[in-house]
Amino acid sequence: MRLVIVESPAKGRTISKFLGKDYKVVASFGHVRDLPKGELGVDVENDFEPKYVIPTKARKVVSALKKDSAEADNTILATDEDREGESIAWHLKEALKLKNPQRIVFHEITKSAIEKALEKPRKIDMDMVNAQQARRILDRIVGYKLSPFLWKKVARGLSAGRVQSVAVKLVVEREREIDKFLAVEYWSVEVLLKKEKEFTASLFKKNGESIDKLEIKNKEETDKILKNLTGAEYIVESVEKRETNRYPAPPFTTSTLQQAAWQRFHFPAKMTMQIAQRLYEDGFITYHRTDSLNLSEGALSDAKKFITETLGQNYWAGKLVKYKIKSNSAQEAHEAIRPAYGEKTPESLEKIDSKQLKLYTLIWQRFISCQMAPAVFDSVSADIKAGDYTFRANGQTLKFNGFLKIYPTKFEEKELPELKEKETLELLRLAPTQHFTEPPARYTEASLIKTLEKYGIGRPSTYAPTIATIQTRNYVSKNDQKRFFPTEIGLVVNDVLVKNFPEVVDIDFTAKLEKELDEVSEGKDTWQKTCKDFYAPFAKNLKKKYEEVKKTDLVHQTDKVCPKCGSPLVDRMGRFGRFYACSKFPECKYTESIENKKTDLGIKCPKCNQGEIVEKKTKKGKIFYGCNNYPNCKFAAWDKPINEFCPKCNSILVENKKKQAKCSSKECDFKKINEK
pLDDT digits (tens, 9 = 90+) for 550-584: 887 677 888 889 988 889 998 887 777 778 889 88
Task: Report how far apart the first and last C-alpha atoms of the chain are (Å, whole number).
Answer: 68
Rounded Cα distance, 514 and 525, in Å: 13
Higher-confidence residue: 377 or 621? 377
Interatomic CA distance for residues 231 and 343, integer angstroms: 63
Contact 616, 630 (CB under 8 A): no
* Cα–Cα distance, 176 to 155 (Å, whole number): 23
Percent of the chain with pLDDT over 70: 96
What are 285-321's pLDDT values in tens digits? 999 988 889 998 889 999 999 999 999 999 999 999 9
Reply yes or no on whether the pLDDT at 597 is more than 80: no
For 483, the 3-state DSSP assignment is coil
Are the C-beta atoms of residues 160 and 142 closer than 8 Å to each other? yes
Q: How many CA atoms lie within 13 A of 218 on its CB side?
A: 1
The single-letter DSSP state of residue 98 is -
Please say if the pLDDT value at position 205 is more than 90: yes
**pLDDT above 60 (res 331):** no
Is the distance from CB of 654 to CB of 645 less than 8 angstroms?
no
Q: Which of 70-84, 534-548, 581-595 has the lowest mean pLDDT?
A: 581-595
pLDDT of residue 676: 39
Cβ within 8 Å of residue 171, ≥6 positions away: 442, 443, 448, 470, 476, 484, 485, 486, 490
Residues with catalytic roles: 287
In sequence order, which residues have a C-beta less than 8 Å from that of residue 197 and are 6 or more positions away?
A: 417
* Secondary structure percentages of the chain, helix, strand, coil, to 5: 35, 25, 40
Handedness of CA 554, 558, 562, 568 (dihedral sign): positive
Q: How much is the average pLDDT of 517-536?
A: 93
Q: What is the mean pLDDT of residues 50-67?
A: 94
Q: What is the pLDDT of residues 151-204, one digit of tens each?
A: 888 888 888 888 999 999 999 999 999 999 999 999 999 999 999 999 999 999
Tell me if the bond preceding 586 is cis, omega within 30° of 0.
yes
Spatial contact of 375 and 295, defined as CB atoms under 8 Å apart: no
DSSP states of 537-600? HHHHHHHHHHHHPPPP---EEEEEE-TTT-PEEEEEEETTEEEEEETTTTT---EEEPPPGGGE
CA dist 323 → 252, 290, 326, 361, 408 (Å): 11, 14, 10, 21, 21
| Position 598 confidence tier, pLDDT thresholds 50, 70, 90 | very low
* Chain center to CA of 666: 34
Query: If pLDDT is split at 50, 70 and 90, which confidence band does 98 have?
Result: very high
- Mean pLDDT in residue range 453-463: 86
User: Stretch 29-41: mean pLDDT, rounded?
Assistant: 92
Range 97-102 average pLDDT:
92
Identify which has the larger pLDDT, 479 or 27: 27
At 620 the pLDDT is 57
**Cα within 13 Å of Cα(673), Cβ side:** 2
Over range 348-376, report the average pLDDT.
Answer: 95
* Mean pLDDT on 467-493: 90
C-beta of residue 66 within 8 angstroms of C-beta of residue 57: no
Are 440 and 181 in contact by the 8 Å Cβ rule? The answer is: yes
Distance CA 536, CA 34 (A): 24
Minimum mean pLDDT among 293-297, 464-468, 624-628: which range?
624-628
Q: How far is 366 from 639, CA to CA, in rounded Å?
A: 36
Strand residues in 196-326 grouped as ranges (E): 197-206, 209-210, 234-246
| Strand ranges of the sheet holding 652-655, from the earlier edge strand across to the other edge | 640-645, 652-655, 661-663
Apex 529 CA angle, 527 and 534, nearest 5: 100
Please give the Cα distance from 552 to 542 (Å, whole number): 16
Q: Which residues pair with 252 in a beta bridge?
A: 337
β-bridge pairing 568-574 and 577-582: antiparallel
Strands (E) located in 176-305? 185-195, 197-206, 209-210, 234-246
Confidence (pLDDT) at 332:
44
Average pLDDT value over all residues in the chain: 90
Q: Which residues pair with 663 in a beta bridge?
A: 653
pLDDT for 327: 59
Closest listed residue to residue 48, CA positions, set 539, 542, 524: 539
Residue 72 Cα distances to 63, 89, 412, 465, 519, angstroms: 15, 17, 63, 36, 36
Backbone angles phi, psi at 76, to 5 degrees: -115, 125
The per-residue DSSP string of 127-168 comes to: HHHHHHHHHHHHHHHHHHHHHHHHHHHT-TT----TTHHHHH
- pTM, 2 dp: 0.80
Kindly list the structural domains of the chain, giving each domain's residue range(s) and its CATH number in brackets, ordered by start. Answer: 2-124 (3.40.50.140), 135-180+441-548 (1.10.460.10), 185-247+375-436 (2.70.20.10), 254-369 (1.10.290.10), 553-594 (no CATH), 598-676 (no CATH)
> How many Å apart are CA 571 and CA 569, to the nearest integer?
7
Give the DSSP per-residue string, 446-477: HHHHHHHHHTT-S-TTTHHHHHHHHHHTTSEE
At 652 the three-state DSSP class reads strand
What gap in Å lies between CA 107 and CA 450, rounded to an integer?
Answer: 24
Query: Exposed, middle or buried by CB within 10 Å (0-12, 13-18, 19+), for 651?
Result: middle
pLDDT value of residue 600: 64
**Residue 666 pLDDT exceeds 90:** no
Rounded distance, CA 168 to CA 505, Å? 9
- What angle, 0 to 180 degrees and rounded to 10, lies between the N-to-C axes of helices 507-521 and 126-153? 150
Residue 382 — very low, low, confident or very high, per pLDDT cuts 50/70/90? very high
